[in-house]
Amino acid sequence: MLTIMRKHGIILALFAALFTALTALVHSLTEPAIQQQAVNQRQQLLDQVVPPGLHDNDMLKECYLVTDSALGHSQPHRLYLARKQGKAVAAAIETTAPDGYSGSIQLLVGADFDGNVLGVRVTEQHETPGLGDKIELRVSDWITHFSGKKVGSDQDAFWGVKKDGGGFDQFTGATITPRAVVNAVKRTVVYLETLQEDMRGAAKCGREKNE
């Protein structure tokens, strides 16, 4: 009996070792493709908020970590700098709307340093389906209405939903979500106007965040 149990134990150990080796092999073969897909998706998102024709550098390789309360919380956010002939002309920056209806809403905002919005996209949200999720491009084109707008100051009355006297539509039955997004975009664009073009003093993103 002990001999049979020992034999079965060895067989099980061999199967476990083989399965582990196969898992490691599959991971090593697929990881580069997965990483490249993530880079491609990030590039596509950057192209949506900062038009490619506006710059001639690789924005993914000019990534900085910035921290400011205007970005929604105290954790670092990534900022991708756009340059034209060496001069900083715009940036795409991660920002957070902390006051969404169902929690924080993560955004990517593209703007120049004069308060002009180039594009905005939602990167993560947990808003109510059919109501607050209209901030998603796959659900409606509401988020595209930021493009071409200018933020005059952090007191600019236009930057609010129409219910509050501003210029942006709210959603029927869901005002909190668009209000949170509008306010977050406004704060972020105002913050971008305060940055030095050469980003002196800002930490670079790690290699794993850029490539």
Query: Which residue range is the domain that position 83 belongs to?
Result: 53-204
> What are phi and psi for residue 170, nearest 5 degrees?
-100, 175
Top-confidence residue, 142 or 5: 142
179 assigned to some structural domain: yes
77 assigned to some structural domain: yes
Please give the model's pTM, rounded to 2 decimal places: 0.80
Confidence of residue 37 (pLDDT cuts 50, 70, 90): low
Task: Write out the DSSP string of 117-130.
Answer: EEEEEEEE--PPTT
28 assigned to some structural domain: no
Number of domains in the chain: 1
Confidence of residue 23 (pLDDT cuts 50, 70, 90): low
79 assigned to some structural domain: yes
61 assigned to some structural domain: yes
180 assigned to some structural domain: yes
163 assigned to some structural domain: yes
73 assigned to some structural domain: yes
Top-confidence residue, 8 or 164: 164
